[in-house]
Amino acid sequence: MTGSFRATDATGSAPASTNGAGGRAGANGGGHRTIDVLNPATNEIAGSVELSRSADVVDAVERARAAQVSWAARSYHDRARVLRRFHDLLLERSAGMLDVIQSESGKARRDAMTEVATLASTLRYYIHHGSGYLRSRRARGAAPLVTSARVSYRPIGVVGFITPWNYPLLLGVGDAVVALLAGNAVVIKPSETTPLSAVAARELLVEAGVDPDLVQLVHGPGSSVGSELMRHVDYVSFTGSTRTGRIVAQSAAARLIPCSLELGGKNPMIVTKDAKLEDAVWGLLNGAFPNSGQTCISVERAYIEDSVFDQFTDMLVRRVKHLELGWSTGWDLDMGSLISAEHAEHVEHMVEDAVAAGARVLTGGSRRLDLGEAYFAPTVLVDVPDDVALCREEVFGPVVALQRVSDVAEAIARANDTEYGLNASVWAGSSAQGSAIAERISAGSVGVNSTLLIYASHDVPMGGVKASGIGRRHAAAGIQRFTQAHSIVTSTPRYGGYESIGRLITTPKRAQWLIRLLRAWSRVPGVR
């Protein structure tokens, strides 16, 4: 997963700079270097941002920390009102936002729209349901009558976000808005390849009424700016590769700060012989090729029962051949470019290695140099040996390997035979049969009759098992992770409080009484 960016010294001839790093003009002084952002579909410069220095990162976190105090003091309802204005502005100005997303990623307009729509649904969900998850509530005390308990959720402080290039708007700010709702300040380091969507989103947040100091952006390579950010924030939310995720986890561990990591996937799809093939073919089409396959939850391998394999394959290949690629800011194309020429080359090498090991290309298989260096043809492969990289590592491109299996048990075993465990999907004769298969898949989420549905299913947790990550976005976990639980437990003060019970056990007989009491207690409804 490689992008490309160029750092240049800022001069009068540099493209207009979109500085989201400060929020105060001139606060960081002159002499900044800028990052030019390339549209990989057209090779044009889409814009630029200022490269943050270490001092800028420190400054951003400090100003965020100061602004967080009054933000946290406001009610959830009050904060939600501001974020609702952002939600409305995002939809009102969606055309401009789509242009920005496309210009820095080369993706098709429909793929950019997915980002806007999913960010809006994230906001809608937490604006309406987030307060319920953070409400201070009474809980069971240690012992009835003499004790009570209460828990509340306090914002963690300044949350740092390190985000990838594949969904520059949705992943750039989609988790950050949830942290804001929880009462935090945020400092985001978007991918250095695609920082412009986060800059545009920050402008809308400020227009919606968010204090500019509360939402900071810092820009630059992960190894310098990202690691500097991790030295100062109170929590790190990372989305990206498993390799970088391990580095982030180690930095968080060294400072003993919490983190969440949404990492790679090698997501399988299972098609049983009873599935309606037409639907399953559409399912794979919609699950493997959107965003040119550069989606952590997209389908990269499919296990299809032997008796329907040939028919399924023919139907799929026919449809894939009709996918239209190119650059357009209209709604007419199915796929744009990949993020960079380097990434397209990397995908091509993976396909070539698989072919050298015996795989057959049924369609696609190479770059579309007639369109540009970053375009890769949607690709369907068969006969891919299980041990080649294309079957084991994340390709992150429009490539799917179809595997013939003798029965459902084999499909499940091979689907689970991976170091990853992010997402999966099942197409079977009925939803009930699909759910039964889904129960046996080792992944954070499984879609039945659907592939990418989990990202829009805000009321259930989403995240990975095994090398696919730690922590969950969405639902209660998705907002509570940006808080610290604060528990207050209260006892009767008599004889020095609850602990005095221990001092009463002074004879074997009293110990026996306690044992009897404990045994009975676990059987009494209402207090057990």
Q: Which residues bind ligand ADP (CB under 6 A)?
A: 1-3, 162-164, 189, 191-192, 221-223, 226-227, 240-241, 244, 247-248
Cβ closest to ligand ADP, residue 128 vs residue 255: 255
Which lies closer to ligand ADP via its Cβ, residue 189 or residue 202? 189
Checking DSSP bridges between strand 235-239 and strand 158-162, what pairing results, if any?
A: parallel
Q: Toward ligand ADP, which CB reaches closer, 224 or 329? A: 224
Residue keyed to tokens 């009767």: 492
Query: Beta-carbon neighbour count of residue 4 at 10 Å?
Result: 17
Residue 269 pairs in a beta bridge with 302, 425
* 3-state SS assignment for residue 147: strand
> In the complex, what is the shortest distance from the CB of residue 239 to ligand ADP, in angstroms, rounded to a whole number?
7
Closest CB 263 distance from ligand ADP, rounded Å: 8
**Alpha carbon distance 436, 426 (integer Å):** 10
* 92 among known catalytic residues: no
- To ligand ADP, the closest distance from the beta carbon of 318 in angstroms equals 32
CA distance 243 to 467: 9
**Exposure string for 479-489, b = 16+ CB within 10 A, e = fewer:** bbbbbeeeeee
**In the complex with ligand ADP, which residue's Cβ is closer, 20 or 240?**
240
Nearer to ligand ADP, 467 or 475 (CB): 467
Q: Looking at 115, 192, 262, 348, which residue is catalytic?
A: 262
Using the structure block, give the residue that is written with the tokens 């009759």.
449
Residue 83 Cβ vs ligand ADP, minimum distance, rounded to whole Å: 24
Q: Which residue number has the CB closest to ligand ADP?
A: 222
- φ/ψ of 216, rounded to 5, equals -110, 145
| 131-138: long-range contacts, CB 8 A cutoff, minimum separation 24 | 131/76, 131/77, 131/80, 133/475, 133/476, 133/479, 133/480, 134/76, 134/182, 134/479, 134/480, 134/483
Min dist CB 2 to ligand ADP, Å, is 6
With vertex at residue 186, the alpha carbon angle to CA 127 and CA 25, rounded to the nearest 5 degrees, is 115
From 192, 228, 259, 296, the catalytic residue: 296
Least gap, CB of 421 to ligand ADP (angstroms):
18
Please state the closest distance from residue 192 (CB atom) to ligand ADP, in A: 5
Closer residue to ligand ADP, CB minimum distance, 264 or 290: 264
Which one, 344 or 415, has the nearer CB to ligand ADP? 344
What are the contacts of 226-232 at 24+ separation with CB within 8 A? 226/162, 226/189, 227/251, 228/54, 228/57, 228/58, 229/57, 229/61, 229/160, 229/162, 229/187, 229/189, 230/160, 230/162, 230/255, 231/255, 232/57, 232/58, 232/61, 232/158, 232/160
Question: Does the annotation mark 391 as catalytic?
Answer: no
Distance CA 315, CA 210 (A): 50
What is the identity of the amino acid at 476?
A
Closest-CA residue to 209 (of 48, 74, 391, 33):
74
Q: Which is nearer to ligand ADP, 231 or 440 (CB)?
A: 231
Shortest CB 34 distance to ligand ADP, Å: 16
* Residues in Cβ contact with 324 at an 8 Å cutoff, skipping those fewer than 6 apart: 332, 333, 334, 335
Q: Where does residue 105 rank: exposed (0-12), middle (13-18), buried (19+ CB within 10 A)? A: buried
Quick one: angle between helices 196-208 and 76-92, nearest 10?
A: 120
Give catalytic residue positions. Answer: 262, 296
